[in-house]
Structure 1
């Protein structure tokens, strides 16, 4: 559970840095699967710093998935929005309302209930059909991005967010389906394709459209589906007699995260203020600093 929470901390902080980097990058082609935009974002130091934190978070996530049910880890990852909200309030001086501070507390309470009720990971290793299904889903995420790029702004944001969430969900399940360095296992390729596709769609969502809507879609996509796969096909269970607490904790943690969905993207005025402050600091240090 400590690894799951550490992963949430890394991902939540990375979201702020990646949003700043994506906003500073030049616009790409405008499609949902926008490699040009991702390439531009990769040239921004904030985006790269966010990716570094994502790498640390992914390592912690893998450790958590090897010892906890997928539904617990998924809820912890959704709770990264609470981390993002707090980081925004501190770094970008974004004002949180009382409802949003209450949502942060609700997320923490939900995670505490999950930690109390969760059992160990299921003993199921998944059938070959499930491995191939994850690979097909990963390629399907790319298809979602292609379709989303042709939609108007409002539905585009929701579809991009859901697609990114599905991609991250594929990664969560694929980790459980990998037994070792067997390159004949489709789960390896599902992990790589699903993760890459999710980042492509998420980067597009961070720069265009309603990122609040996209982030809410991503939270739903990366929590509910993988949790069901873990329970139905991989044998994830709760502690004896505490299924109600796990369901309630999962529900309120995800609900609290959805309330905080607007923090999937720092508000534009706050981003501009940060850039102005950095420019002023460079001016004080002198030219070439």
Structure 2
């Protein structure tokens, strides 16, 4: 239990720091003075060590997330992942010279307090692992959700960033649920597990949808919608269907901690794309 909590916090630190490093890599590529676009811009960015370090931290964060999802309740893991925005805000303030407003410093403190309450109140991970039908349903829903996101990306104009961000969040929530539905982490079992393929499809599809949402310009709306989409329903799913629970008598404390941490993350939603603050003026 304790190890799973530590891994969830490590995932938040790694992913939050990775966002800033990738932003620094993009800034140095743009500051090189060479006009480039498309694949040329990507090639320049990939040659910068901060961006590569950010990718490595993202990978470590995802690995830590997988470990935590197998040992602690979903509501704690998802709240911890949302708190990566607080890490991004603090690191960006130091590394990119971004000035945080008083409300944002209060939100960082709120996220920390909320996670502390959740860590105290969380019980053991539920024993429910879902049946074969549930795993196939998750696999069927995943590509349908990604396709729906692509349709929305082409047809919706008003509120596009928020809608795409919300769908991306739903995809990331599917990743968390699908990980919990994995029978075990053995290579042979993973190759035949429907939920393993759901993890891959939902993760990649959600990432592409989030990039498109952020590129729509309304970073705060996209990130806020993503945070809600990836936290609320997986937490409810874990409690109602997988048996996640709090310690006896700590349910209200857990609810308060979850609400405070998510509210703090929403206040910090503008840091969902730190690259916009890293661009040279």
RMSD: 2.5
Q: Is this contact kept in 1: 2:164–2:209, CA < 8 A?
A: yes
Q: Residues 44, 143 of structure 1: CA spacing in aligned structure 2 closer, same or farther, 3 A cutoff?
A: farther
Q: Is this contact kept in 2: 1:41–1:47, CA < 8 A?
A: no
Question: Which residue in 2 is equivalent to 1:188?
Answer: 196
Question: Which residue in 2 is equivalent to 1:127?
Answer: 131
**Deviation (angstroms), 1:137:** 2.8
Question: Which residue in 2 is equivalent to 1:150?
Answer: 154
**Deviation (angstroms), 1:53:** 1.1
> Comparing 109-118 with 161-170, which one deviates more in the overlay?
161-170
- TM-score if structure 1 supplies the norm length? 0.84
- TM-score if structure 2 supplies the norm length? 0.86
Q: Residues 184, 42 of structure 1: CA spacing in aligned structure 2 closer, same or farther, 3 A cutoff?
A: farther
Q: Is this contact kept in 2: 1:118–1:237, CA < 8 A?
A: yes
Question: Which residue in 1 is equivalent to 2:101?
Answer: 97
2:232 corresponds, among 224, 229, 236, to 224
Question: Which residue in 1 is equivalent to 2:246?
Answer: 238
In 1, Cα distance between the equivalents of 2:138 and 2:26?
A: 28
Report the 3-state secondary structure (helix = DSSP H, G, I; strand = E; otherwise coil) of the residue aligned with 1:49: helix
**Deviation (angstroms), 1:205:** 2.7
Question: Which residue in 1 is equivalent to 2:215?
Answer: 207
Q: Structure 1 residue 173 and structure 2 residue 185: aligned?
A: no
Report the 3-state secondary structure (helix = DSSP H, G, I; strand = E; otherwise coil) of the residue aligned with 2:120: helix
Size of the aligned set, in residue pairs, is 266
> Comparing 205-214 with 41-50, which one deviates more in the overlay?
41-50
In 1, Cα distance between the equivalents of 2:47 and 2:72?
A: 35
Q: Is this contact kept in 2: 1:141–1:198, CA < 8 A?
A: no
Q: Residues 123, 37 of structure 1: CA spacing in aligned structure 2 closer, same or farther, 3 A cutoff?
A: farther
In 2, Cα distance between the equivalents of 1:219 and 1:37?
A: 31
Q: Is this contact kept in 1: 2:126–2:245, CA < 8 A?
A: yes
Q: Deviations over 1:125-170 (max 9, x none)?
A: 1122321222223213322331232245552111221121111111
Q: Residues 261, 269 of structure 1: CA spacing in aligned structure 2 closer, same or farther, 3 A cutoff?
A: closer
Q: Structure 1 residue 59 and structure 2 residue 67: aligned?
A: no
Q: Residues 132, 38 of structure 1: CA spacing in aligned structure 2 closer, same or farther, 3 A cutoff?
A: farther
Q: Structure 1 residue 197 and structure 2 residue 205: aligned?
A: yes
Q: Is this contact kept in 2: 1:7–1:58, CA < 8 A?
A: yes
Structure 1 residues not aligned, in runs of 5+: 29-35, 274-289
**Deviation (angstroms), 1:44:** 5.8
Question: Which residue in 2 is equivalent to 1:265?
Answer: 273
Q: Structure 1 residue 118 and structure 2 residue 122: aligned?
A: yes
In 2, Cα distance between the equivalents of 1:148 and 1:51?
A: 28
Q: Residues 144, 84 of structure 1: CA spacing in aligned structure 2 closer, same or farther, 3 A cutoff?
A: farther
In 1, Cα distance between the equivalents of 2:107 and 2:140?
A: 35
**Deviation (angstroms), 1:269:** 5.3
